[in-house]
Amino acid sequence: ILPFQVVGGKVKKPGKRGRKPAKIDLKAKLERSRQSARECRARKKLRYQYLEELVSSRERAICALREELEMYKQWCMAMDQGKIPSEIKALLTGEEQGKAQQNSTKLAKAGKTEANSSNP
pLDDT one-digit tens code per residue, 9-26 = 666 666 666 666 666 688
The answer to whether 74 touches 84, Cβ cutoff 8 Å, is no
**Domain boundaries, given as residue ranges, for the chain:** 26-93
Measured on CA atoms in the order 102, 104, 110, 113, is the torsion positive or negative?
negative
C-alpha to C-alpha distance for 36 and 51, rounded to whole angstroms: 23
Burial 43-69 (b: 16+ CB within 10 A, else e): eeeeeeeeeeeeeeeeeeeeeeeeeee
Coil/strand/helix, residue 7:
strand
Helices (H), the chain: 26-80, 86-118
Q: Exposed, middle or buried by CB within 10 Å (0-12, 13-18, 19+), for 78? A: middle
pLDDT digits (tens, 9 = 90+) for 66-80: 999 999 999 999 999
pTM score over 0.85: no
What are the pLDDT digits (tens) for 25-45?
888 899 999 999 999 999 999
